[in-house]
Amino acid sequence: TTTTTTTTTTTTTTTKTKTTSVLMCQGHHLVAIASADCPDNAGSLRHCDQVSPGEMCEGDGECGTHELNNCANEWDIYLLEAWTCQGRYLAAIASTDCPASPGSLAGCDSAGPGEMCEASGECGTNVNLGNCLGGYDLYRLEA
């Protein structure tokens, strides 16, 4: 009697995909800065929920910030992006503030001060923001 044993080896390769999410704070994008752009005063910057658009900030968990150590291997420095249109700041609205008919809004380059607008890439807006149902990208042109 002959016994044959067959061994099958299965190799599974798992590829990890890095998911990059857009951080939002005060209606604006938060972007991690490159180490080469670190300011000398990184340790004295305010937290990201306390700065104005266009300012750098130190993330400490607020607005979804996390440990980067991108400046001096110690600080987590971000930039609160400022979009401007018609000489005014644009702020992405919270999804809870979306109107019933977002498709009827004017584009951000023709909205009036204080009005909501639907972005189509004008004024540097993010066409993939999708903050309102149906994939609409809504902002408010600050007064």
Per residue in 88-117, pLDDT tens?
888 888 888 999 999 899 999 999 999 999
Q: In this predicted structure, what is the pLDDT of residue 84?
A: 82
The model's pTM is: 0.57
Give the C-alpha separation, 55 to 135, whole Å: 29
Average pLDDT over residues 11-38: 66
Average pLDDT over residues 59-67: 94
Max intra-chain CA distance, the chain? 91
Q: Which amino acid is at 100?
A: A
Average pLDDT over residues 65-89: 89
Write the pLDDT tens digit of every residue in 42-61: 999 999 999 888 789 999 99
User: How many CB atoms within 10 Å of residue 8?
Assistant: 4
The DSSP code for 38 is -
| 64 three-class SS | helix
Report phi then psi at 94, rounded to 5. -75, 145
Give the C-alpha separation, 55 to 44, whole Å: 13
Q: In this predicted structure, what is the pLDDT of residue 63?
A: 93
**Given pLDDT bands bounded at 50, 70 and 90, which one contains residue 134?**
very high
